[in-house]
Amino acid sequence: MAIDREFLSDLRRSSVMVAVFAALFVFMYAGVVLLLKYLYIYFRGFSPEISEHLLRGIFYGLSAAAIGASAAISNRRYSKESLRALANDADALMRHLVLTPVISMLFAEAVLIFGFCLFFLKAMYLDFLILASISFGLIIWSVPTTDFLEETLQKSGAGSPFRQD
């Protein structure tokens, strides 16, 4: 008996669609930054008197916290214990598996917003691009593969609602 790969493929496809939508936000913010850079060449941010080092420390620290929280929550939600608790309720397990990548993508968007804050406060273009790239990478990382989902469900024993006879 095997886990229904078609269901897991559909789950992955849903995650990819959400990831595409989230990635569009990265490109939208990048477009705003580029427009401001080239249309308003004297833009120095709305708080140019604040120290760059202080702002970097704050927003890179918040970004690191968001990345750590995303990884911890994702690991917890894909853990054997978490999935095993949902093994007898297929609907709850499905909601759990659909929501997990979305939560990770929300943290990725937080990293993007922190980068945009750096740009907006102090016109730190390079820092925005770094954090936007990290955000984009986190969005891609958030999408589970079908093999990962199948393996995780098999190891936890939670795959039984999706088994075929």
The tokens for 69 are: 């929280």
Q: For 108-124, what is the mean pLDDT?
A: 95
Residues 6+ apart with CB under 8 A from 86: 92, 93, 96, 158
- Which residues are CB-contacts of 99 (< 8 A; sequence separation ≥ 6)? 77
* Tens-place pLDDT, residues 1-43: 235 788 888 889 999 999 999 999 999 999 999 998 889 888 8
Query: Domain residues for 55?
Result: 5-156
pLDDT digit string (tens) for 41-87? 888 888 888 999 999 999 999 999 999 999 999 999 999 898 888 87
Total of domains in the chain: 1
The reply to whether 101 falls in a domain is yes
Q: For residue 137, how far is the Cα from the chain centroid? A: 8
Tell me how far apart the alpha carbons of residues 11 and 19 are, in angstroms, rounded to a whole number. 12
In a domain, 162, yes or no: no
Residues 96 and 17 sit within 8 Å (Cβ to Cβ): no
Helices 5-39 and 125-142 cross at an angle (nearest 10°) of: 170
Q: Is residue 165 part of a domain?
A: no
pLDDT value at residue 165: 44
